[in-house]
Amino acid sequence: MNEGDIVLAPLPQADGRIKNRPAVLLRRLPPFGDWLVCGVSTQVHQGVADFDELVGPSDPEFATTGLKAASIIRLGFLGVLPETALLGTIGSISRERHHRLLASLCRHLSA
């Protein structure tokens, strides 16, 4: 698995339940190689301007994402998971989008 891949992963929901959902692999973390991931949601109305990324059917890379509907990559929905917890890759985002996500997260954390 590689940075920028979209995987299925068990992520906690607001109600505490664990649900398998799409997530973007942001970065592998030391010392054990676990993945920093961010959840993907079809609740596009929850997107935060200049922070989250919208991926829709009119987007040139939509077909490569493996997503079935317009979705928001939610940088506020982060998790750290071991690679063994990831259920498989469904697609990927472009290198440019991956870099935008990391830059946006870095700007927010260093503000």
The mean of the pLDDT values for the chain is: 95
CATH of domain 5-110: 2.30.30.110
The CA–CA distances, whole Å, from 45 to 7, 41, 59, 85, 111 equal 22, 10, 17, 29, 25
Instruction: Note the pTM of the prediction, 2 decimals.
Output: 0.94
Q: What is the pLDDT of residues 29-65, one digit of tens each?
A: 999 999 999 999 999 999 999 899 999 999 999 999 9
Q: What is the pLDDT of residues 8-31, one digit of tens each?
A: 999 988 788 999 999 999 999 999
